[in-house]
Amino acid sequence: MSRLASGYGACSVIAIFIAHWLHCNPKLMPTRVQFESLILEGSSEWRALSNESSYCQNKFSNNHFDIEIVINAGIRPVSICTDRSVTGMFEVEKINLLKDMFSLDNMWETITKDLTTEPKNFVVGWNDHFFVLKLELHVSPINKFFARAKDCCKEYMRKFLSSNIVMKLEKEYKRGYIQLPYLYEKLQIDMSYMCLNAPSPVSSSSTSSYDAPSSFQL
């Protein structure tokens, strides 16, 4: 990758770029070249946002913006559908303070029910990390394979993303060194369902600030 991709806190911006691309190309997945182009564009936009004083508040002193800030900046015409989004916690069964919280299994059951061939695109946020999750039903004679692959995404989040942090927090909790707000900060996971905004009416002489990405443009 080019040095132009540099952006230590750009993951939320890049996630929005990818989610928008998936909405514009619902039957496709980006190629490697297209992914690289999206990363470059997202990193460039992140640097531009970082240079705007209105975004450099104390909460984002490291310029690691959350999804809401990026969406409100209007860099791509997407928004969060709150009624189809879910929030929960990793490993609620291991820490007593979290026993009544929505677990990852609960979240997964919610977002995977009623799957159709129309993709569902989520931006997943956890511990200042963001990535895109695309879910869809594959109509094929090997549906069992896809069901197993789908569940692999959940296990990846559980065992790869959070396992080390969960082990450390579990030890600290048993020693009485940890409080609920800190657990929220480290274990809360948000799955934000992304919706494509309806295009605003413009005059024939107006031009858009960007074109909807297609499989041929990147």
Is pLDDT at 201 greater than 80 in this prediction?
no
Query: Each residue of 153-194: pLDDT tens digit?
Result: 777 777 766 677 878 887 887 787 778 888 888 889 999 999
- One DSSP character per residue, the chain reads --GGG--TT-HHHHHHHHHHHHHHSTT----HHHHHHHHHHHHHHHHHHHT-GGG--GGGTT----HHHHHHTTSSSEEE-GGG-EEEETTGGGSGGGTTSPBHHHHHHHHHTT--SS-EEEEEEETTEEEEEEE----STTHHHHHHHHHHHHHIIIIIISHHHHHHHHHHHHTT---HHHHHHHHEEEEEEEEEPPPPP--TT---SSPPP-TTT-
What is the pLDDT averaged over residues 200-218? 48
pLDDT-based confidence at residue 59 (cuts at 50, 70, 90): low
Predicted pLDDT at 131? 92
For residue 24, the model assigns a pLDDT of 96
- The pLDDT, as a whole number, for residue 56 is 60
* Whether the predicted pLDDT of 203 surpasses 70: no
Instruction: Return mean pLDDT, the chain.
Output: 80
Query: Greater confidence, 63 or 70?
Result: 70
Higher pLDDT residue, 183 or 110? 110
Is the pLDDT reported for residue 114 higher than 90? no
Q: Which stretch of 44-58, 95-109, 204-218 has the lowest confidence by average pLDDT?
A: 204-218
The pLDDT value recorded for residue 62 is 74
pLDDT above 70: residue 49: yes
Contact 19, 58 (CB under 8 A): no
Give 73-93 pLDDT, tens digit per residue. 999 999 999 999 999 998 777
